[in-house]
A and B are shown apart, each in its own frame.
Chain A
Amino acid sequence: MSVICSETFQRSFEVKGVKARIMKLTRSRLAILVISFAAVFPRAGHAESLAIRNCTWCHGVSAQGYNPAPGLAGQRREYIQSQLRNFSEHTRDNPFSQLYMWGATANLRPATAHDLAIYFSTLPPQAADDGYRALEEKGKAIYQLGMPDANTAACVVCHGPNAEGVGEIPRLGGLAYTYLKRRLEQWGQGYHATAKPPMPGIASKLSVEQIEALASYLSFVK
């Protein structure tokens, strides 16, 4: 936790520097971007930006993730909402969720959750690119074709050809290797057992090697 605090402290300095530069360049494209963002989110006032900052402390200023917090940029809106619900209802119970997200969502109003989900879903995602390149091919094969002999369904059918997800089915593309690996392992360990089928069933059958291959491949997907 202390490691994360110092990191976020350092980041807050960076934020102040950026703000100074923005104020200097009034005709810059950045200014236009900020203005247009405010126009798009008419209710974006003091309370709204506070809520976003509450997330970006851990998930990164551009919401690309910061270990152990996953990237939120470009994540499916409905998925973010459903997970925020799972956190506040304590049905998503893996260790880091308990430690951080239960508290983070304890006082989160549904309307704010809704707006946050929309906001993060519109940010452009960047691939974490931190998996093992050597495992990428194997991971891709599992992702595209599944493993029929082991009765493991092909991820692509639900998560899409670029792992972008749809509806409540999450984007996996570009998420960090350690995050994906941890999530897949935890289902096998019995966490988040009440997640919508079929994930608990599918993930709990995967071997360690298969998980590492999948997590590697997905971390590279743009």
Chain B
Amino acid sequence: MKFIRATSQFVILTVVFSATARADAVSKQNFAAKIGYCQDCHGVSGQGYRGFYPIPRLAGQQTEYLENQLRAFVEHRRTNNVMFNVAHNLSPAMIRALATNFRHFNPRPLGGAPKNLVTAGKKIFEDGVPDANIVACAACHGPDAVGKNEFPRLAGQIYPYVVKTLTNWTSERGQIPGKPDTSAVMQPVVHSLTKSQIEAVAAYVSYLQ
């Protein structure tokens, strides 16, 4: 395990420091330590983890989305005590390095969602539910749920996390009315989705590679 971790960290460092222009703003040592810290909860390859709380997959996530979320935690626009503590000491250079790094991982999805929900979930994802004014997720998240820029990747995201996130959207995100953020775009969607629709679409995306 340690060997795998060391090797993967070496690969990460090589990728990140050749990719980022201001690599000297983040020392290799600090970055390695910080990445290990993220991996303790988010998984060795950023695949997510089913802790007491579901910890989301970061692997393959859109860089801009990750950066936005880290900033949202710091500014308390997105409320999460643990993540506030994680994020508020991160320098902008470190945030960029971390967000860029996780983009490059591509482990298999954790899986585990109820498979019998996938067909219904696929329909909602691709077609929406026009009679209930639920937009097709694919319109913004892409047909393969890989997202783009500030629209997050959903492919391979862990099932309990997607369910929890959609269910608790307005109690966790956009918490500062004076500082509206991109999370507002999801509000009509989460408002209209029923519990079983949430579970179906969450199951569907959780299996996408």
Contacts and interface: CB of A to CB of B under 8 A. Distances in A.
Interface of A: 144-146, 148-149, 151-154, 156-161, 164-167, 169, 193-194, 197-198, 201-202
B34 A160 contact: no
A202 B128 CA distance: 43
A166 B52 contact: yes
Of A160, A169, A197, the most chain B CB neighbours within 10 A belong to A197
Contacts of A161: 52
- If over half of B's interface residues share one DSSP class (helix, strand or loop), that class is named, otherwise mixed; here it is helix
B23 interface: no
Given A198-B39, A201-B36, A146 B85 contact: yes
Given A166-B52, A169-B51, A194-B1, A202 B85 contact: no
B204 to A, nearest CB: 23
A156 B39 CA distance: 16
Given A157-B53, A160-B52, A165-B52, A149 B89 contact: yes
Nearest to B41: A153
Contact of A151 (B33, B44, B53, B55): B33
Nearest to A144: B81
Interface of B: 1-2, 5, 33-34, 36-37, 39-41, 44, 49-53, 55, 81-82, 85-86, 88-89
Contacts of B85: 145-146, 148, 154
Given A145-B85, A146-B82, A148-B86, A157 B55 contact: yes
Contacts of A154: 41, 82, 85
A165 B39 CA distance: 19
Given A148-B88, A169-B51, 9 more contacts: A145-B85, A153-B37, A153-B41, A154-B41, A157-B51, A160-B52, A164-B52, A197-B44, A201-B5
A149 B87 CA distance: 10
B91 to A, nearest CB: 12
20 contacts: A144-B81, A146-B82, A146-B85, A148-B85, A149-B89, A151-B33, A151-B36, A153-B41, A156-B52, A158-B41, A158-B52, A158-B55, A159-B52, A164-B52, A165-B52, A167-B50, A197-B1, A198-B39, A198-B41, A202-B40
Given A158-B49, A160-B52, A166-B52, A152 B44 contact: no
A198 B33 CA distance: 14
A9 B81 CA distance: 49
A54 to B, nearest CB: 31
Contacts of A151: 33-34, 36-37
A183 B51 CA distance: 20
Contacts of A193: 2
A211 B39 CA distance: 21
A193 to B, nearest CB: 8
Nearest to B51: A158
A166 B54 CA distance: 11
B102 to A, nearest CB: 16
Contacts of B50: 166-167
Task: Across the A-B interface, give the 8 residue pairs with the lowest CB-CB distance, nearest first.
Answer: A151-B37, A158-B51, A160-B52, A198-B40, A153-B40, A154-B82, A145-B85, A166-B52
A156 B88 CA distance: 18
B22 to A, nearest CB: 21
A165 B44 CA distance: 20
A201 B4 CA distance: 13
A152 B33 CA distance: 10
Of B2, B41, B51, the most chain A CB neighbours within 10 A belong to B51
Contacts of A152: 37
Given A159-B52, A161-B52, A166-B52, A197 B82 contact: no
Contacts of B53: 156-158, 160
Nearest to A152: B37
Contact of A201 (B40, B55, B81, B86): B40
B34 to A, nearest CB: 6
